[in-house]
Chain A
Amino acid sequence: MLYEKTKVLLYSTLTVGFLATVGGMAKAQDKGGEWPMYGRDYANTRFSPLDQINTDNASNLKLAYSFQLGSLRSNESSPLVIGDTMYVTTSWGPRYVYAINAATGERKWTYEPEIPEDVLQFACCDVNNRGVSFSDGKIFVGRLDGKLAALDAATGEEIWVADVVDYKQGSVITSPPLIVRNMAIIGFGGGEYGVRGSLQAYDLETGKEVWKTWTIPGPGEEGNDSWKGDSWEHGGGAPWYVGSYDEKTNTVFWGTSNPGPWNSIVRGTADSNYGNFKNLYTSSTLALDADSGKIKWHQQATPHDAWDYDGVNEAVLADLKIDGTDFPAMMKADRNGFFYVVNRETGKIKSAEKFVPVNWADKIDLETGLPVEVSEKRPGPGRPAKDICPNLIGGKNWQPMSFSPQTGLVYIPSNNLCMDWTVSEVAYNRGTFYLGAEFPTKVGPGGHLGELLAWDPVAQKKVWGLTEDLPFNGGTLATAGGLVFYGNLHGVFKALDAKSGAELWQARLGSGIGAGPISYSIGGKQYVAVVVGRTASLPAFLGEVGKAMVAASPEGGALFVFTLD
């Protein structure tokens, strides 16, 4: 039985840990009442060991309080709860970081950074922020202007600000850093703007850079020859989402974005015979040594990508009972439509199966780790491809999944869309209008555009699913009370039975939900909280589907907290 330790290491007075086994009850050795980091634990399971709210009483959930965020457009924050304080961020920078009393909603302090007005040009995919990190009395927040700020958790005062990256090159920071011992590890976005991705670690006390690792190898480094000519310099591979950490092996796991430009012939070949031109380490999961940042191994889901299949989705760590033994798994529901189960100690793929309709590849060859492509689904110059599934927003996008060691299932907010793709991008040039390509979005088989999947990662199959009419629905939370929580793009927040998918409770919250819900307890009382506020810019890429997404609800920006009587 593997002991999966999750600690807020360093000088914190908290020690949180739990056991995770498939088919067994989770034994909470921790207070359980906190939500100390984005995915609740270093394994990013988003599993709460609290069971006061459960399948018997979930139908009685009522609003404890709501809190207006004061900022519209995409609100994607997973709040943290440390002690009795909740820390929540908003869109636009973040425009605000709030510290509030997690039980009553009373505001304690507000941090309002000076974010330059022109960041919008450099934020391809909305002006969002997914939350903060906490360690030793400090709050750490990444900003759209490419900076990482450390705040005093008691007052919200800035302690230091580090320049991570120049936002004017197209690199914004939208996700919280990963805290490991004395370091805050953080990435940035910008794959669409021709940046070269990197991960960097900053000292928690001083804000000085401790290490920096490029996600695209430079000249002379292994993997640099997987790029044609000088294309590695602007190759993308930006690690803009969140990382995971395995304390046993001191390994940090992080996903990288797709390569650029979209026209693959610039960085290799025009077809499936890319040979050595895999474009490392884009669309990959990287395993790095936490102390030095050195890459230990990589697993590339989509070599020489031609479909914008970002590899940034989170790595969820768990020990799965496979063939009678405990398998140290890293699970990933990739954009490319495959659900990967990888040995997180060696990097070898155990299994990879389609979790949504996929037709750009038949399967993943487990020996080589390479997809067996369907060549007519790979677009090339002068050779558009039609009806490619999944479409560029992927089988799952940033909205986080959760893993319940109780049911052994992974709860995935999936998308069911296909697309036509023509290689005809033209970057903006002054004097006329952006003549970029369009990607006619098509409905996937079945007609529903999204589905909440309960996925068995060992058998690699769907156990149950709840379809949604729209894609891009919210992240999931699984609890020891046998519940799964998530919200959809209409703004309906639901509690489901984790075993069967039966809907036990719902509340209409007024704007589309993308963020992952959290659960915590204060003074013996359990709460479930979710941030609400739909995306504004992504639908522009999705034609008629995008219009339906926008029509589903107005923009919003609010936090809702629920509890029992």
Chain B
Amino acid sequence: MTIVASPWKRHFGTPSPTHAPQRCFRGGAAAVVALSAAVLLSGAVWRDARAQDAAKPFRLCVDPTNPPFSTQEPKAGLYVELGEAIGKALNRSVSEVWHLSYFGKRALRTTLLAGQCDAWIGLPEISDFMGPQIIFSNPFMNIGYAFVVPKDRDVSSLDDLKRQRVAVQFRSTPQNILAERNDITAVTVMSPEEGVRAVADGKADAAFVWAPVAGYLNLTEFNSAYRVIPVSGEALEWPIAVGFSRKQGDLRDAVDKVLPDLSVLIEALKAKYGFPTETPIKFGMADTRGVGKLAGAPAAAAAEPANAAGAPAVDAASTTASLDAGATGEGKALFNGTCAHCHGPDAIQAERKIDLRRLRRKYGDKMDGVFRKVVVSGRPAKGMPAWGEVFTSDEFDQILAYLMTVQTE
């Protein structure tokens, strides 16, 4: 694919002042001689180094059109710089494999999983994102949505934006959240840049858009005139990690070892590219099913599972389920009363993906933590509701205790 114009220019109007555009090599015959000599010399040095680390280049898949994360022309971006730092820490040179990430999982299948590159920085560290084929490093940062408001304003919850116009992106979680309220006017935009510009042009009082892009635009085009306040919550923020094919477990472990040493660099890169630095505002139920019921929309039935965007945090290190008969009996009743509707009575289920008797096989001793996370927060993309508002922690213990008794070997 050809990049016709610098995506930095296209998106933000002016290239980042910290990145000079690439220059063609200029020079005459003397330069050629010098260059040849340098090549020969570096070749010798290179062979030496190669003998030392005995490793091939660290091939990094990167999207060429993704400022502030990665661009090909000029070669810049947070993921690009982090990739080079990881390569250096691993004592390997880095070579980029440019590929659009727009196509999502298909892009990963044809590149990462096809052995065309060793790693892809920027995968969402979600257990059901292409697992088990894809494995992740530890997450190194979070990205998500943010409020964008003029510097003198303070926003600590959506209620502070009542009766205001807020720019939200088409088909985004913020758009969904605003749609459930009738006291905030949504101004629909097609990109985070458009959202920030809507505030600048007075078409909106605030924006609730994708933070990294908004932050970079704020830094480079608006001279940090705006406050970018990140939010956290279900489908609002994602932990970001480096992704690998599961065949590259050793590489993943090696990257995990060097990541902590790079944490200072990562903070510096975030600042350099205008990522928001404030503490995220936590989104809870009050913000999503808030004030003002919509005309004609009946209240959510009490029996319905809670909206995933607001499930309270559950201590993932809570006590493991007791295996006494009482707990399992209760657990079985709970399970068959609710879970069985999809997962089968007594957990007997033909469809592998939702066969809960295979949990231990799939997750080993991570089973407990995965179970708790999934039942509380759900897996909306896969049709699993969030039950965090419906069952108590004890009830989850009981269900898990029951499931333990039906695991297949």
Known: A117-B2, A426-B173. A434 touches B143 (CB 8 A): no
Q: Mark B163-199, 1 if CB is under 8 A from A, else 0.
A: 0000001111101100110000111101010000000
Do the beta carbons of A229 and B66 come within 8 Å of each other?
no
Closest to B235 in A: A426
B350 at interface by CB-CB < 8 Å? no
- Check if B240 sits within 8 Å of A432, measured CB to CB: yes
Once the chains bind, are B108 and A269 in contact (CB under 8 Å)?
A: no
The smallest C-beta distance from B387 to any residue of chain A, in angstroms, reads 12
Residues 250-295 of A at the B interface (beta carbon under 8 Å): 260-263, 265-266, 269-271, 273-275, 277
**Complex-state Cα separation, A261 to B185, whole angstroms:** 17
Known: A265-B176, A266-B179. A428 touches B102 (CB 8 A): yes
**Do A230 and B186 touch across chains, with their CB atoms under 8 A apart?**
yes
Contacts of B1 in A (CB 8 A): 117-118
- What is the size, in residues, of chain B's interface with A at 8 Å between Cβ atoms? 61
Chain B residues with Cβ below 8 Å from A438 are 381-382
Contacting residue for A435 out of B103, B170, B308, B381, CB 8 A: B381
| B305: interface (CB < 8 Å) | yes
Task: Point out the residues of chain A lying under 8 angstroms from B176, CB to CB.
Answer: 263, 265-266, 381, 423
Tell me if A269 and B172 are in contact (CB < 8 A).
no
Say whether A113 faces chain B, with CB atoms less than 8 Å apart.
no
Asked if B307 and A382 make an inter-chain contact with CB atoms under 8 angstroms apart, the answer reads: yes
**Pair B210/A429 contact, Cβ less than 8 Å:** yes
Whether, in the assembled complex, A384 has its beta carbon less than 8 Å from a beta carbon of chain B, the answer is yes
- Is A436 at the interface (CB under 8 A from chain B)? yes
- Within 8 Å of chain A (Cβ to Cβ): is B154? no
Q: Which residue of B lies closest to A228 (CB)?
A: B179
User: Is the C-beta of B83 less than 8 angstroms from some C-beta in chain A?
Assistant: no
Binary interface profile of A, 226-253, with partner B (CB < 8 Å = 1, else 0)? 0011110110000000000000000000
Q: In chain A between 505 and 525, which residues have their CB closer than 8 angstroms to a CB of chain B?
A: none
Q: Is the CB of B171 within 8 A of A424?
A: no
Given known pairs A426-B173, A427-B170, the reply for A229 and B186 (CB within 8 Å) is yes
Instruction: Report if A32 contacts B (CB, 8 A).
Output: no
A251 CB → nearest B CB, Å: 33
Chain A residue with Cβ nearest B243: A433
B249 interface contact, C-beta 8 A = no
- Is B122 at the interface (CB under 8 A from chain A)? yes
B213 interfacial contact with A, CB 8 Å: yes
Compute how far the CA of A384 lies from the CA of B100 in the bound complex, rounded to whole angstroms. Answer: 31
- Residues on B with beta carbons closer than 8 Å to the beta carbon of A231: 188
Known contacts A260-B171, A427-B170, A430-B69; A436/B381 CB under 8 A: yes
Residues in chain B near residue A277, CB distance under 8 A = 296
Q: What residues on A are CB-neighbors of B307 within 8 Å?
A: 381-382
Q: Which residue of chain B has the shortest Cβ distance to A428 in the bound complex?
A: B102
User: Which of B143, B188, B306 touches A382 (beta carbons < 8 Å)?
Assistant: B306
Taking a contact as CB atoms closer than 8 A, the residue among A261, A266, A424 that contacts B380 in the complex is A424
Q: Complex Cα distance A194/B129, Å?
A: 26
A420 at interface by CB-CB < 8 Å:
yes
Query: In the complex the two chains form, what is the Cα distance from A231 to B170 in whole Å?
Result: 9
CB distance from B162 to the nearest CB of A (A): 15
A261 touches which of B67, B69, B170, B297 (Cβ 8 Å) = B170
For A117, the chain B residues whose CB sits under 8 A away are 1-2
Complex formed: what's the CA distance from A426 to B295 in Å? 26
Q: Is the CB of B298 within 8 A of A271?
A: yes
A:392-440 near B, CB below 8 Å: 420-438, 440
Q: Is B28 an interface residue (CB 8 A)?
A: no
**Chain B residue at smallest Cβ distance from A170:** B190
Q: Is the CB of B124 within 8 A of A432?
A: yes
- A12 at interface, CB cutoff 8 A: no
Residue in contact with B102 in the complex, picked from A233, A434, A540, CB distance below 8 Å: A434
Residues of A within 8 A of B304 (CB): 382-383
Q: Are B294 and A269 in contact (CB under 8 A)?
A: yes
From the candidates B122, B170, B382, name the one contacting A260 in the complex (CB within 8 A).
B170
B104 to A434, Cβ gap below 8 A? Answer: yes
The reply to whether B101 and A433 contact each other, CB–CB distance below 8 Å, is: yes
**Complex Cα spacing A383 to B186, Å:** 23
Is A194 touching B187 in the complex (CB atoms < 8 A)?
A: no
Chain A minimum-CB-distance residue to B125: A432
Question: A269-B296, A384-B385 in contact; A431/B69 too (CB < 8 A)?
Answer: yes
A266 to B186, CA, bound (A): 9
Residues of B within 8 A of A422 (CB): 380-383
Within B52-89, which residues are at the interface with A (CB < 8 Å)?
63, 66-67, 69, 79
Q: Is the CB of B188 within 8 A of A234?
A: yes
Asked if A121 is at the interface of the complex by the 8 Å CB criterion, the answer is yes
* Interchain CB contact (< 8 A) of A426 among B100, B172, B300, B383: B172
* Complex CA distance for A143 and B156, rounded to whole angstroms: 48
Mark out the residues of chain A between 435 and 484 whose CB falls within 8 Å of any chain B CB in the assembled complex: 435-438, 440
Q: Which of A194, A381, A428, A433 has most B Cβ within 10 Å?
A: A433
Taking CB as reference atom, which chain B residue is nearest A422?
B383
- For residue B238, CB closer than 8 A to chain A, the reply is yes
0 or 1 for each of A191-219: is its CB under 8 Å from B? (1 = yes): 00010000000000000000000000000
Judge if B356 is at the interface, Cβ distance under 8 Å.
no
B117 at the interface (CB under 8 A from A): no
Q: Does B105 contact A (CB under 8 A)?
A: yes
B179 A265 Cβ-Cβ under 8 A: yes
Chain A nearest CB from B275 CB (Å) reads: 10
Which among B66, B79, B102, B126 has the greatest number of chain A C-beta atoms within 10 A?
Answer: B102
> Is B180's CB under 8 angstroms from A265's CB?
yes
Q: Are B105 and A430 in contact (CB under 8 A)?
A: no
Is residue A386 contacting chain B, with contact meaning CB distance below 8 A? yes
B148 at the interface (CB under 8 A from A): no
Q: Which residue of A lies closest to B141 (CB)?
A: A431
Could you tell me if B383 and A431 are in contact, using CB atoms closer than 8 angstroms? Answer: no
A271 to B100, CA, bound (A): 37
The answer on a CB contact under 8 Å between B212 and A430 is yes
- Closest-by-CB residue of A relative to B77 is A431
Q: Say whether B180 contacts A381, CB under 8 Å.
A: yes
Query: How close is B271's CB to chain A, nearest CB, in angstroms?
Result: 16
B383 touches A194 (CB 8 A): no
A121 engages B100 (CB within 8 Å): yes
The docked-state distance in angstroms from the alpha carbon of A132 to that of B96 is: 42
Distance from A171 Cβ to chain B, minimum over Cβ atoms (Å): 13
Question: Quick one: which of B278-326 are within 8 Å of A by CB?
Answer: 294-298, 300, 304-308
B296 CB contact (under 8 Å) in A275, A425, A430: A275
| Chain A residues, CB < 8 A from B123 | 432-433
The answer to whether B185 touches A229, judged by C-beta atoms less than 8 angstroms apart, is yes
Which residues does chain B contribute within 8 Å of A420, judged by CB atoms? 383
Bound form: Cα–Cα A230–B165 in Å: 11
Which A residues are CB-close (under 8 A) to B179? 228, 263, 265-266, 381
Name B342's closest neighbour in chain A (CB-CB). Answer: A386
A97 to B182, CA, bound (A): 51
Closest to A230 in B: B188
- Say whether B106 faces chain A, with CB atoms less than 8 Å apart: yes
Q: Which residue of B lies closest to A419 (CB)?
A: B383
User: Chain B residues near A260 (CB, 8 Å)?
Assistant: 170-171
Contact B169 A432 (CB under 8 A): no
State the CA gap A230–B308 with chains docked (Å): 26
Whole-angstrom distance between the alpha carbons of A269 and B375 in the complex? 27
C-alpha spacing A234/B180, complex, angstroms: 18
**How many angstroms from the CA of A169 to the CA of B194 in the assembled complex?**
13
- What distance in Å separates the Cβ of B131 from its nearest Cβ neighbour in chain A? 13
Q: Report how far A428 CA is from B171 CA in the complex, Å.
A: 9
Nearest Cβ in chain A — how far from B395, in angstroms? 20
Q: Are B172 and A382 in contact (CB under 8 A)?
A: no
For the A-B complex with A277-B296, A386-B342, A540-B106 known, give 15 more contacts whose Cβ atoms are closer than 8 Å. A262-B171, A263-B176, A266-B179, A271-B298, A381-B176, A382-B304, A384-B383, A422-B383, A423-B176, A430-B213, A432-B124, A433-B105, A434-B102, A435-B124, A437-B380
Cβ contacts A to B, 20 pairs, < 8 Å = A229-B186, A263-B176, A270-B180, A274-B296, A275-B295, A381-B180, A382-B306, A422-B382, A423-B176, A424-B235, A429-B172, A429-B210, A430-B69, A430-B210, A430-B212, A431-B143, A432-B238, A433-B123, A433-B129, A440-B382
> Which 4 pairs from chain A and chain B are nearest by CB?
A424-B380, A382-B307, A434-B104, A427-B171
